[in-house]
Homo-oligomer: A and B are copies of this chain.
Amino acid sequence: MTKRNLYLSTIPVEEALSIYMESLKQVLRIQYERIAVVEGLHRVTKEAVYAKYCSPLFNAAAMDGIAVMAERTYGATEVSPVELCEGEDYVVVDTGDPILHPFNAVIMAEDLLESEMGKVKILSSVNPWQHIRPIGEDIVAGEMILPSGHKIRPMDISVLLSAGILELDVVKRAEVAIFPTGSEIIEPTSVPQEGDIIESNSRMFENMVTVLGGVPHRFKTIDDDYDSIKNKIQEAVTLYDMVIINAGSSAGREDYTVEVLRELGDVLVHGVAMKPGKPVILAIVEGKPVIGLPGYPVSAYIGFENFVRPVLELLNETVGEARVSIDAVISKRLVSSLKHKEYIRVKVGQVEGKVVAAPLARGAGAAMSLVRADGFCVIAQNSEGVEAGEKVQVELYKDPKDIDNTLVLIGSHDLILDVLADMMPNHFRHQHVSSTHVGSMGGLMALKRKEAHMAPIHLLDEETGEYNASYVKRLFQEPMAIIKGVHRVQGLMVKKGNPLKISSIMDLKGHRFVNRQRGAGTRILLDYKLKTLGIHPSEINGYDREATTHMALAALIQSDSADAGLGIQSAAKAMGLDFVEVGVEEYDFAIPAKYLDLPLVKNFIALLKSDEWKKRLEELGGYTCEQSGTYYLL
């Protein structure tokens, strides 16, 4: 077996950053360039900018009317108007026209009586300098317009031009080279093959660099070859201000990055006590920052935010946009290790004034959790975690106002929840539906803890054969309601063509089954069916193998990683699987009765009654919705 590059130690995030930034400040030189003001949007001034000219450049009429000598108007009253002659006593002016000596006041057009051509009468005298914008009223030549280190806004550009400034010195945008590495990595494709890993991190980095005001230069993937990596880095540090190398920093067999960087320059940090994102490399080569980021997308993102961002802000002399931080209570226990600072993606919702953060998938590979999250909950390195209901700080990356305008659903998973989330803002501007999947029972528990507005559930009462109502009645003291959702078809998903000829739950024995997680209504349905049939769970090969959504389960069957699983017809259809119907169930929304009056809930109900909803259910297949949107009190 070839040599493995196991890192020996990790250091705390703050310490890693401080070590690196201090070293960089010794060697980095901020660069400047002269640019046209009209190209200046969002650039950062090198030094204070002073007005070259006044604005207005001259005494200017502030009104449409006539320019006069104030002295000639003295004595004018309603009973003894003064007559003025054009050319001699006045000239006609529009707003902005220069007022030249000897004129020293303007009379508004509205205050003039035209007596005859070229003559006007006025009914009152005027003060000198009336309705005149004095030279420099807005901008005075020589005054400071913008300080140094200022990020230029549209209004600044306008004022600079008015003050006669056509060019200025700004901080040069940092040019950042981005190198993906790894022989197994392929360029994005619409026809990937098994074993291919689509390179996508570099495209995230590229756009993150752009957002931070840098100029990204993204290169094609470098093979895992010592000399290829070395040559590319050597060349890049001469051409660019910063280098990012991706995926070459985990402890895999073929990761040469850290060795190359040790040969070419100084590796100040290799391994940071954070999760995800541990295998970060912070190096300096020829005075340029070179950062190795891990390959897993969430690790890559967190590594970038913690280390690339501050370096880019240093190079660009920009000040990071303050991320909005809010207090929330965490919806479930989070265990963490004292060994690292942990970044947990969370969905954030507001129920009865209480802000709740619901943790999403924690895996470093869960890129979708970045997309779905509203922000991060950070658990400090010296903490063992937080208990459910404890207060946490959440760094939001969405607008806090959106939190208030979001209907929070926690419970059972179904594809229709995504459809409703898509429909909500299209029908009701600025309103959103957020859903977290913890199974039907988990959803009811969350509802009890006031962490959700409603819980999507499908719970069969084995005694009565009825769905949902009995569970809700049993669990809640307060008045509750059930909003009817859909009838959906549950059944066995099997491979296309059903090669194993599985036609009922009886046929599962001997084949590779995948189950849903504990608490999922579908698992409860399976248990009920197994009990009815007298089959013990241990007889099912794979009873303990879990998938957390219908779609994830379908994917395992489609890829021949399992032979069968219980789930909804729409998921089987989406994945091109065969489907053996087991039964129809009622998928509804449990809700405290008092929430029925919330505008968000009313709008949600309106969606369930809409024609678009019916149309979209038909497209999905496996649903009926006669009662969608009706509700009854329990």
Binding site for B on A (CB under 8 A): 1, 4, 6, 37-38, 41, 48, 52-59, 62, 64, 92, 94-98, 101, 109-110, 114, 128-129, 133-149, 153-159, 161-162, 164-166, 184, 188-192, 194-201, 203-208, 210-211, 250-254, 295, 297, 301, 319, 321-322, 363, 365-368, 370-371, 399-401, 415, 418-419, 421-422, 425-426, 429-430, 545, 547, 549, 551-552, 554-556, 558-561, 571, 574-575
Contacts and interface: CB of A to CB of B under 8 A. Distances in A.
Contacts of A48: 418-419, 422
Nearest to A58: B194
Main DSSP-derived SS at the A contact region: loop
A571 to B, nearest CB: 8
B555 A54 contact: yes
Contact of A96 (B58, B98, B295, B321): B295
B561 A135 contact: yes
Given A138-B367, A155-B370, A192 B57 contact: yes
A158 B218 CA distance: 14
27 contacts: A4-B109, A6-B110, A38-B203, A54-B555, A55-B198, A57-B192, A57-B196, A57-B197, A58-B559, A92-B253, A135-B561, A136-B559, A137-B363, A137-B365, A140-B551, A140-B552, A142-B575, A144-B421, A145-B368, A147-B421, A154-B206, A156-B371, A161-B188, A164-B188, A165-B190, A322-B399, A322-B400
Contacts of A97: 184, 195
Contacts of A366: 137-138
B142 A57 contact: no
B143 A200 contact: no
Given A158-B204, A210-B41, A1 B114 contact: yes
Given A134-B555, A143-B418, A147-B422, 16 more contacts: A1-B114, A38-B206, A54-B555, A62-B365, A94-B184, A97-B184, A137-B363, A138-B297, A140-B554, A140-B555, A142-B551, A155-B204, A158-B200, A159-B367, A164-B190, A319-B430
A207 B157 contact: yes
A147 B422 CA distance: 5
B140 A365 contact: no
Contacts of A148: 422, 426
Nearest to A321: B399
Q: How many copies does the complex hold?
A: 2
Given A201-B158, A297-B158, A556 B134 contact: yes
Contacts of A399: 321-322
A556 B134 CA distance: 7
Contacts of A189: 164, 166
Nearest to A182: B96
A200 B166 CA distance: 11
A159 B200 contact: yes
Contacts of A365: 56, 62, 133, 137-138
B1 A59 contact: no
Contacts of A54: 555, 559
A52 B156 CA distance: 46
A58 B192 CA distance: 11
A221 to B, nearest CB: 13
A458 B478 CA distance: 69
Nearest to A401: B322
A295 B60 CA distance: 14
B551 A161 contact: no
Contacts of A192: 53, 57, 164
Q: What are the 3 closest A-B residue pairs judged by CB atoms, nearest first?
A: A136-B555, A142-B574, A154-B207
Contacts of A418: 48, 143-144, 147
B162 A194 contact: no
A251 B64 contact: yes
Contact of A549 (B53, B62, B140, B191): B140
Nearest to A2: B92
A418 B551 CA distance: 62
Nearest to A152: B207
Given A48-B422, A144-B418, A192-B57, A157 B64 contact: no
Nearest to A319: B430
A318 to B, nearest CB: 11
A414 to B, nearest CB: 12
A250 B62 CA distance: 12
A55 B295 CA distance: 14
A551 B560 CA distance: 80
Contacts of A571: 142
By CB atoms of chain B within 10 A, which of A161, A199, A399, A401 has the most?
A: A161
Given A1-B92, A58-B194, A136-B555, A145 B371 contact: yes
A148 B421 CA distance: 9
Contacts of A574: 141-143
Contacts of A37: 188, 203
A371 B155 contact: yes
A139 B418 CA distance: 14
Contacts of A367: 55, 138-139, 155, 158-159, 162
A146 B98 CA distance: 57
Given A189-B164, A192-B164, A138 B368 contact: yes
Nearest to A165: B190
A58, A140, A254: which has the most chain B beta carbons within 10 Å?
Answer: A140
A194 B96 CA distance: 11
A396 to B, nearest CB: 12
Contacts of A322: 399-401
Contact of A158 (B110, B190, B203): B203
A354 B150 CA distance: 26
A403 to B, nearest CB: 11
A149 B426 contact: yes
A398 B468 CA distance: 50
Interface centre among A62, A198, A301, A554 (most CB of B within 10 A): A198
A552 B136 contact: yes
